[in-house]
Amino acid sequence: MSIALFFVTHEGIASNLLTIGEAIVQKPNSNISYLEIPMGASLDNIVSDIENNLTTLNTDDGLFFITDIYGSTPSNVAQQLATKYQGHLVSGVNLPMVIRLLNYREEQEDELLQRALEGAHLGIQDHTTETKI
């Protein structure tokens, strides 16, 4: 099996990152779900919506909650659930991280976590060059 991935992001982020990541990786992926939280959404039903979606995932090999911005509403909700379900919480998702998560799904939790974080960090580069006149 594979580690369950649950993305909790602001609206439009998870779905687009997953669509692009899957197009790049071009291999079947399952055991993934997401919930995008619209700006100004009522939090009353969000936790229960996520918990309902979690029932569709196999978490026997582990569970990662992936969020966009640490300290944001999606991150705070995911933190509650990561604690409750003993999952990892990874914030600051970017496309290189998603590609690593999709490519190395069969790795052990710690290894997948390291690959995802490394991909995210290496994906952020400053390519500024000085232009001389």
Tell me: the pLDDT tens digits for 36-45?
A: 999 888 787 8
Inside any domain, residue 16: yes
Q: Which residues, in sequence order, are bridge partners of residue 4? A: 63
Inside any domain, residue 129: no
pTM of the model: 0.92
Question: How many domains does the chain divide into?
Answer: 1
Inside any domain, residue 97: yes
Inside any domain, residue 127: no
Query: Rounded distance, CA 20 to CA 130, Å?
Result: 32
Q: Which residues, in sequence order, are bridge partners of residue 37? A: 10
Q: How many helices (H) and strands (E) does the chain have?
A: 5, 4
Do 104 and 117 form a contact (C-beta atoms < 8 A)? no
- Inter-CA distances, 109 with 58, 103, 113, 124, Å: 14, 14, 6, 23
Inside any domain, residue 82: yes
Inside any domain, residue 132: no
Inside any domain, residue 9: yes
Neighbouring CB atoms inside 10 A of 133's CB total 2
What residue numbers bound the domain in which 40 lies?
4-122
pLDDT at 39: 87
Give the single-character DSSP code of 62.
-
Inside any domain, residue 131: no
Over residues 88-126, the pLDDT tens digits come to 999 999 999 999 999 998 899 999 999 999 999 999 998
Residue 44 corresponds to which tokens in the numbers above? 């009353």
CATH of the domain at 19: 3.40.50.510
